[in-house]
């Protein structure tokens, strides 16, 4: 089975712009989660989707949004980019048979905001 | 916010030695998971231990969980240079989100 894929792998934007990141989960996985990783704050949960519904959202401003499509692919969008949004954005999917178990992570998208 | 704190923050050992990392967390959990990350890449799941389990093994990995102390440890036996990475504990508190610790950077010298 192919792993979790994320596109693009690297992105450079300027302040004020917006960005859309994409995540394709492992085939058959219906839960997709997003995390932000920075040197200062570490790994922080952004949101989780299951069957096109957002089930949980982390403590991030409304500039961060996401969605999930019927094929379980997910996108996250960050509007009005700030310098502090520079980070590695990780997507994870899981099979979710009976619980929130092992997460399979993609390679991440490294976003640099100038 | 980070639920867990990991100790030590950095660890340097020789190949063949054992490496032990500790994780403490603050609230009740459903399970605790350990992940490895190589040089800012994606995380790789290593092992999951449920709140009603005390110890679990997987190959050269041994994880313990003490829910009364809200702590866990990861032991890697007979370390190899390829084990060089950052290791994170992550807790599932039933919120459908993992809360990660700050991580331990492990350097295994060949």
Q: Are A106 and B42 in contact (CB under 8 A)?
A: yes
CB atoms B42 and A107 under 8 Å? yes
Interface of B with A in 39-58 (CB under 8 A): 40-45, 48
Dihedral of alpha carbons A24, A9, A47, A79, sign: negative
pLDDT band at A109 (very low <50, low <70, confident <90, very high): very high
What count of CB pairs under 8 Å joins A to B?
67
Query: CB neighbours (10 Å) of residue A98?
Result: 6
* Backbone phi and psi for residue B22, each to the nearest 5 degrees, phi listed first: -120, 150
Q: Are A92 and A33 in contact (CB under 8 A)?
A: yes
Report the percent of chain A where pLDDT is more than 90: 90
The pLDDT, as a whole number, for residue B1 is 45
Q: Are A54 and A60 in contact (CB under 8 A)?
A: no
> ∠ CA B67-B74-B53 to the nearest 5 degrees?
35
Q: How confident is the model over A30-78, as pLDDT tens digits? A: 999 999 999 989 999 999 999 999 999 999 999 999 999 999 999 999 9
Q: Is A24 on the interface with B (CB under 8 A)?
A: no
Region A85-106: mean pLDDT is: 87
Q: Determine the distance in angstroms separating the CA of B44 from the nearest CA of chain A, rounded to an integer.
A: 7
Interface of A with B in 35-64 (CB under 8 A): 35, 37, 42-45, 48, 50, 55-56, 58-59
Residue A72, C-beta contacts closer than 8 angstroms, at least 6 positions apart: A25, A29, A30, A32, A93
Q: Determine the distance in angstroms separating the CA of A42 from the nearest CA of chain B, rounded to an integer.
A: 6
Query: CB neighbours (10 Å) of residue A29?
Result: 19
User: pLDDT at residue A10 above 70?
Assistant: yes
């Amino acid at each position: 089975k192919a792993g979790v894929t994320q596109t693009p792998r690297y992105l450079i934007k300027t302040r004020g712009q917006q960005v859309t990141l994409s995540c394709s989960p492992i085939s058959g996985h219906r839960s997709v989660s997003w995390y932000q990783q920075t040197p200062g704050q570490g790994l922080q949960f952004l949101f989780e989707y299951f069957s096109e519904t957002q089930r949980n959202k982390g403590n991030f401003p409304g500039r961060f949004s996401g969605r999930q499509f019927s094929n379980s692919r997910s996108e996250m969008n960050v509007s009005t980019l700030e310098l502090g949004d520079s980070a590695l954005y990780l997507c994870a999917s899981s099979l979710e048979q009976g619980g929130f178990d092992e997460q399979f992570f993609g390679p991440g998208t490294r976003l640099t905001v100038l | 916010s980070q639920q867990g704190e990991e100790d030590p923050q950095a660890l340097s050992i020789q190949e063949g030695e054992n490496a032990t990392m500790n994780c403490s967390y603050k609230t009740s959990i459903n399970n605790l998971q350990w992940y490895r990350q190589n040089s800012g890449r994606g995380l790789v799941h290593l092992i999951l231990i449920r709140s009603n389990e005390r110890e679990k093994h997987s190959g050269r990995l041994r994880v313990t969980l003490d829910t009364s102390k809200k702590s866990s440890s990861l032991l890697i036996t007979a370390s190899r240079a390829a084990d060089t990475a950052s290791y994170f504990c992550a807790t599932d508190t039933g919120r459908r989100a993992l809360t990660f610790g700050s991580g331990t950077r492990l350097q295994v010298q060949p």
